[in-house]
Amino acid sequence: MLFDNTQRAYHLKTDRELYKAYYLFRLISNSTLVTVGSWFAQLSLKLRLPVAPLFKATVFSQFCAGLNKEESLELVNKLESYKINSYLHFAAEESKTEEGMDISLANTLETLSFSKESSSLPFTVFKATALGPMSLFKKKGDKIDFTNSEEETWKRVLNRIDTCCENAKKMGVNLLIDAEESWFQDAIDEIAESLMEKYNKETPFVYTTLQMYRKDRLEYLKNLHENATKKGFKIGVKLVRGAYIEKENSRALQLGISSPICESKLMTDLNFNAGLDFILKNLEDCSLFLGSHNEQSVKRVIDWMVENKIEKDHPHVWFSQLLGMADHISFNLASEGYSVVKYLPYGPVSEVIPYLIRRAEENTSVSGQTPRELSLIEKELKRRKATVSSS
């Protein structure tokens, strides 16, 4: 099996790093420990306790590229030597003041400037609500008129977002717009489509993100493609299963409305596969950025490419995994010539703790993912022991 080559998958990790990863995944496979640890981390942030060294030595070193530009680019270059591309993201969360949103813009533009430092940074990413008040995204999505003051604020939001696009376009870097909670997403969809219409005339450059655990996303994808065909622009789609399932279901229950999320993992998978198939059948004017740690999903795309004689490095097909996870997919795919991009968050430890909490919680909630990571690490450790014994 392509993904079972652990020597390739963990070539960058020393024995010590591999053992550390193993024990870390063991810990985050325990939902009780993750809940308690998340509570402790959030409390530590509030009380400003000196816990940064503990996090840096554990979850930070596993899931983050570094504290700053220099450390991050060092990892980018290491990954490049294994034919793996990267995209960097300053993962600190700024305040929702005008000043905080301007800082978020500055951080995005600074990260974008890193593309000059390496040829293996073909993408950058931003979160729309980091550049504007969440209340306005919700109001816009609900089609509620803005006040005059809100209208001026919204113009500044759109200007920040367009500034990201304009700078990325000048540098020849593709732009990913993150998906968010459903009550913000309608406004983000509208922005993303307008940006694609503006910037994607000749080739996909701006990518929207579709969370296929939502019941409406397949229909939305088809409508987006239809609009693009009529208006003469290309679409870029980052396809993921979704990240806010508990929050979405909890909110729907509180409001007494139907959840926007598929009723089961099976229905999500069917929706996801249908979205994959639709994009692959329309590769002439669609670009796929597959954000998945699911081996079956990755194999589905590979099989389709082989069957339809699509070159492995087709410019409209990208595979992506998070740093510190699914290395067995990333490194083995890259070694076979497919286009792989690793997501590399970076920033000061204390400021990226919220991201690290989400990473641990997501690992716990995804059935079968952590056990697979553990089994592959165990396999590689045994292989290394056997190699040493026989030498």
DSSP string across 2-41: GGG-HHHHTTTS-HHHHHHHHHHHHHHT-HHHHHHHHHHH
The domain at 63-354 falls in which architecture? Alpha-Beta Barrel (3.20)
pLDDT at 94 over 70: no
Q: From residue 106, give the alpha-carbon distance in Å to each of 69, 237, 319.
A: 14, 25, 28
Q: Which two tokens stand for residue 255?
A: 């409001």
Task: Calculate mean pLDDT across residues 59-79.
Answer: 93
Closest by Cα among 319, 323, 318 to 88: 323
Q: pLDDT category, 115, cuts 50, 70, 90?
A: confident
Q: From residue 176, give the alpha-carbon distance in Å to each of 122, 355, 375.
A: 11, 18, 32
Q: What is the pLDDT of residue 366?
A: 57
pLDDT at 46 over 80: no
Q: What is the pLDDT of residue 86?
A: 97
pLDDT per residue as tens digits for the range 183-219? 999 999 999 999 999 999 999 999 999 999 999 999 9
DSSP secondary structure code for residue 66 in this structure: B
pLDDT at 27 over 70: yes
* pTM recorded for the entire structure: 0.94
Q: From residue 117, give the alpha-carbon distance in Å to each of 87, 134, 147, 332.
A: 12, 33, 43, 25
